């Protein structure tokens, strides 16, 4: 069959992927029974307020405090929802983190803490280690975001900068039991990596010294920040006895969301090929590689064949080379459009499932055979926009952005190439 409106079809698939990870759908089944003692709900991340809303729909009004991104709050009767800055922390995030730690100080062994954790918590939970200030944490986050380092490396460094990441938030809950419900936005769905693992200790992975990681990825840090990171204790080990009372469960992840899109596509007689849900790398490089694969498939299709859909998730990165407005998904889409060079059979979408690509209130973008012609007709230079990391400006000018507003969840990147067969 033919897809009459490829852009609408791809956008429908993206929205289905987001809906599959809605906390109202995935949280209730994983909530533990009420304890004999107190129940305290805590949380951090872009999805945490929606997760808190789901918890209260299950338990009724609860005591607790949750921090989410500005614009992502949800109505709760008992749980206090606080908004703070992301991806660079601010005083609101630092203040609520101090209050959160204070709330954990008088818990007993019969009490239960339910921690609602999702992507974005790394910035929203802000408690600098000794030797660092909030301003230092802001410098650190900006340097990490512009470095192009993979999320695992960024989180390793963040854990050394924090008094709550790397399992320390869970340790602060002792002697109460803590059950963490986690929505994954990282490749591999490792709970220790999501939001820099505030309630989860690190595994056995061997890491290079921090100074070597900073040098390898050319992360521009003042000397006093690096010295404070090296002096910090760092994350707790997974078998640290301070975490004996802690348990963590990933309740939603990119794989399920990609499967939701695949179900719709299969129902429309589209052949689905999964490229992976944990792909990492420079956005422009991954885009060129997947565009090449799409071109190869297009060349193999004959009239009457089923359309082919390439699906992938994970987390692209961008090394800042210019001063434009962009994010990993928009940059992926722009680089893919350039690589496809107006190929007549291929359409694509790249979006972040949280509705925010980079720091912009834009989920991502769609491309098609006419993308480059429309852009050049509008006086735009696609290659120049890519060189400046200016993909958001580029797609806004040709009305190809995908704007969802806050989706209230976060399972990271959603990418799809739709390859149509020849008509005859």
Is the separation of the CB atoms in 286 and 332 below 8 Å? yes
Task: Quote the tokens at residue 36.
Answer: 């004999």
pLDDT at 229: 95
pLDDT at 374 over 90: yes
Please name the residue that has the structure tokens 């983190």: 97
Q: What is the per-residue pLDDT across 243-291, written as a single tens digit (0 to 9) for each?
A: 999 999 999 999 999 999 999 999 999 999 999 999 999 999 999 999 9
Is the separation of the CB atoms in 64 and 42 below 8 Å? yes
C-alpha to C-alpha distances, 251 to 4, 21, 28, 94, nearest whole angstrom: 35, 9, 10, 27
Pairing of strands 246-252, 177-183: parallel
Mean pLDDT calculated for residue range 397-412: 96
Is the separation of the CB atoms in 131 and 227 below 8 Å? yes
- In whole angstroms, give the CA distance from residue 264 to residue 71: 30
Which of these, 31, 4, 331, 381, lies nearest to 179 by C-alpha position? Answer: 31
Q: What is the per-residue pLDDT across 322-344, written as a single tens digit (0 to 9) for each?
A: 999 999 999 999 999 999 999 99
Edge-to-edge, what's the strand order for the sheet holding 63-69?
Answer: 79-84, 63-69, 39-44, 112-118, 177-183, 246-252
Task: Quote the tokens at residue 215.
Answer: 């040098």
Pairing of strands 177-183, 112-118: parallel
pLDDT at 424: 65
Q: What is the per-residue pLDDT across 40-77, written as a single tens digit (0 to 9) for each?
A: 999 999 999 999 999 999 999 999 999 999 999 999 99
pLDDT at 228 over 70: yes
pLDDT at 205 over 80: no
> DSSP letter at 163?
S
Share of the chain above pLDDT 70, in %: 99
pLDDT at 219: 94
- DSSP labels, 58-93: HHSS-EEEEEEETT-----SSEEEEEE-SSS--HHH
Q: What sign for the dihedral angle of Cα 269, 275, 276, 279?
A: negative
pLDDT at 206: 74
DSSP 3-state of 166: coil
Pairing of strands 63-69, 401-402: unpaired
Looking at every residue in the chain, the average pLDDT score rounds to 96
pLDDT at 2: 66
Mean pLDDT calculated for residue range 358-382: 96
pLDDT category at 7 given cuts 50, 70, 90 is: very high
pLDDT at 1 over 60: no
Q: How many C-beta atoms lie closer than 10 Å to residue 35's C-beta?
A: 17
pLDDT at 148: 87
Q: How many C-beta atoms lie closer than 10 Å to residue 303's C-beta?
A: 8
pLDDT category at 314 given cuts 50, 70, 90 is: very high
pLDDT at 119 over 70: yes
Mean pLDDT calculated for residue range 132-157: 94
Q: What is the per-residue pLDDT across 168-194, written as a single tens digit (0 to 9) for each?
A: 999 999 999 999 999 999 999 999 999
């Amino acid at each position: 069959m033919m897809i009459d409106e490829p852009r609408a079809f791809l956008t429908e698939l993206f929205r289905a992927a987001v809906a599959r990870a809605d906390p109202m759908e995935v949280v209730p089944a994983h909530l533990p029974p009420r304890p004999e003692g107190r129940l305290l709900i805590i949380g951090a991340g872009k999805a945490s307020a929606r997760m808190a809303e789901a918890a209260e729909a299950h338990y009724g009004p609860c005591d607790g405090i949750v921090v989410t991104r500005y614009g992502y709050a949800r109505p709760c009767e008992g749980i206090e929802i606080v908004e703070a800055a992301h991806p660079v922390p601010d005083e609101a995030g630092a203040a609520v983190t101090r209050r959160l730690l204070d709330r954990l100080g008088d818990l007993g062994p019969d009490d239960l803490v339910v921690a609602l954790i999702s992507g974005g918590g790394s910035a929203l939970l802000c408690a600098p280690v000794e030797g660092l200030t909030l301003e230092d944490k802001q410098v650190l986050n900006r340097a990490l975001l512009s470095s192009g380092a993979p999320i695992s490396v960024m989180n390793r460094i963040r854990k050394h900068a924090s008094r709550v990441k790397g399992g320390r938030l869970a340790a602060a809950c002792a002697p109460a039991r803590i059950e963490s419900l986690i929505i994954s936005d990282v490749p591999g769905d490792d709970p220790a990596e999501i939001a820099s693992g505030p309630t989860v200790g690190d595994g056995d992975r061997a890491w290079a010294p921090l100074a070597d990681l900073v040098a390898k990825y050319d992360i521009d840090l003042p000397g006093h920040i690096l010295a404070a990171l090296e002096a910090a204790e760092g994350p707790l080990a997974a078998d640290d006895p301070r975490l004996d009372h802690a348990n963590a469960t990933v309740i939603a992840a990119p794989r399920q969301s990609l499967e939701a899109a695949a179900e719709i596509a299969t129902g429309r007689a589209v052949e689905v090929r999964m490229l992976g849900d944990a792909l990492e790398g420079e956005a422009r490089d991954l885009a060129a590689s997947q565009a090449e694969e799409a071109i190869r498939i297009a060349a193999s299709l004959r009239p009457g064949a089923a359309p082919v859909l390439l699906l992938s998730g994970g987390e692209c990165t961008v090394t800042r080379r210019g001063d434009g407005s962009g994010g990993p998904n928009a940059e992926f889409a722009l680089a893919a459009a350039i690589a496809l060079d107006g190929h007549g059979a291929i359409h694509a979408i790249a979006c972040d499932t949280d509705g925010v690509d980079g720091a912009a209130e834009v989920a991502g973008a769609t491309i098609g055979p006419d993308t480059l012609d429309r852009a050049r007709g509008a006086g735009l230079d696609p290659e120049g926009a890519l060189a400046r990391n200016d993909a958001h400006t580029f797609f806004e000018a040709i009305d190809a952005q995908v704007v969802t507003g806050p989706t209230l969840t976060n399972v990271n990147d959603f990418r799809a190439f739709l390859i149509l067969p020849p008509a005859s």
